[in-house]
Structure 1
Amino acid sequence: MQRITITLDDDLMDDLDRMIADHGYQNRSEAIRDFTRAGMQQAAQKMGNAGECVAALVYVYDHAARDLSRRLVENYHGHHDLSMATLHVHLDDDNCMEVTALKGTGAEVQHFADHIIAERGVRYGRLVMIPTEAGKKTVPARKGSGQRA
């Protein structure tokens, strides 16, 4: 771990302290590390260098839009290696929401999400990517921790 010194103007420091309190961080260092990781991941995603990731694709669409269901299914079948699970929710008479868990490279996941969101009849969509480290071993949950394996 390295120690650094940075200079922030008073307004930015006030905003940072407010965010730290709102998010429940115990100290500034912990918050700044998390905010830095998030900013770096966002920048890598924009440049197409996100590496391996898991993601949630959330979108709302008009279920009556012509051929949209068929087009969505074709997109999913064409990228079956990325999709892990999908939750489908009926919002009202016209709108459905889907939440899809994805896993793959950032570029592949972004490309797939862009195609889904761009389909005519999809009213709104957002992709949230979380980087993963390839080859990192998952630590099994301890017994009695309340987590399932």
Structure 2
Amino acid sequence: MTSKKLSRFGVSMEESLLESFDQLIEEKGYKTRSEAVRDLVREKLVKHQWKQDDHEVAGCLLIFYDHHQRHLMAELTTIQHDYHDSILATTHFHLDHHNCLEMIVVRGNALNIRSLRDKLLSIKGVKYGQLSVSPVSEP
């Protein structure tokens, strides 16, 4: 295992903000402020990198839909076939008689993955969807 060099720096903030941060640290189970700050920085970097179209990302797209919606299943399938290079796997769950959840594992160019998300979520009958991604390589 390779160790990474650590650098120290100081952070100044209002006491009320620090108290709120310490409460968050306790709720989330961090052992130190440093661990929490590192996670916040990583999260911000991931969000920034997600906006860069030339970066490769991987993640999961969840979509909830009414499978009784006319033509919905055909549209979902057609779009997924159009993006077959970016889709690693799909899993379909029957939540009840009308509602389904589809989990689509993706990997590819950020712009392409966003396009896939937008096309799937805009289909009539899709009730909700959420995409969670991370860069494939560290920022």
TM over 0.5: yes
User: Which aligned runs of 4 or more in structure 1 are off by greater than 4 angstroms?
Assistant: none
1:99-123: CA deviation from partner (whole Å, max 9, x where unpaired): 1110112221111111111111100
Contact 1:55 1:109 in 2 (8 A): no
**What is the total number of aligned residue pairs between the two structures?**
133
**Match for residue 11 of structure 1 among 7, 16, 28:** 16
| Aligned AA (1:35) | L
**Match for residue 63 of structure 1 among 67, 82, 91:** 67
Q: How far apart in 2 are the matches of 1:80 and 1:23? A: 37
Alignment-derived partner of residue 3 in structure 2: none
Alignment-derived partner of residue 141 in structure 1: none
1:81-101: CA deviation from partner (whole Å, max 9, x where unpaired): 111111111111211001111
TM-score by length of 1: 0.82
Between stretches 31-40 and 50-59, larger displacement belongs to 50-59
Alignment-derived partner of residue 31 in structure 1: 36
User: What does 1:93-108 align with in structure 2 at a 5 Å threshold?
Assistant: 93-108=97-112
Q: Does residue 109 of structure 1 match 2:103? A: no
For structure 2, the 5+ residue unaligned runs are 1-5
Could you tell me how far 1:80 is from its partner in structure 2? 0.2
Q: How far apart in 1 are the matches of 2:112 and 2:24? A: 32
Provide the identity percentage: 31
Q: How far apart in 2 are the matches of 1:35 and 1:17? A: 13
Q: How far apart in 1 are the matches of 2:41 and 2:123? A: 33
1:56-76: CA deviation from partner (whole Å, max 9, x where unpaired): 101100101110100000000
Alignment-derived partner of residue 87 in structure 1: 91
Q: Does residue 130 of structure 1 match 2:124? A: no
Contact 2:49 2:135 in 1 (8 A): no
Could you tell me how far 1:19 is from its partner in structure 2? 1.9
Alignment-derived partner of residue 80 in structure 2: 76
Alignment-derived partner of residue 47 in structure 2: 42
Task: Classify 1:29/1:108 alpha carbon distance in 2 versus 1 (closer, same or farther; 3 Å).
Answer: same
Q: How far apart in 1 are the matches of 2:111 and 2:21? A: 31
Q: Which has the higher contact order (CA 8 A, sep 6+)?
A: 2
Contact 1:59 1:98 in 2 (8 A): yes
Contact 2:95 2:101 in 1 (8 A): yes
Contact 2:54 2:110 in 1 (8 A): yes
For structure 1, the 5+ residue unaligned runs are 135-149
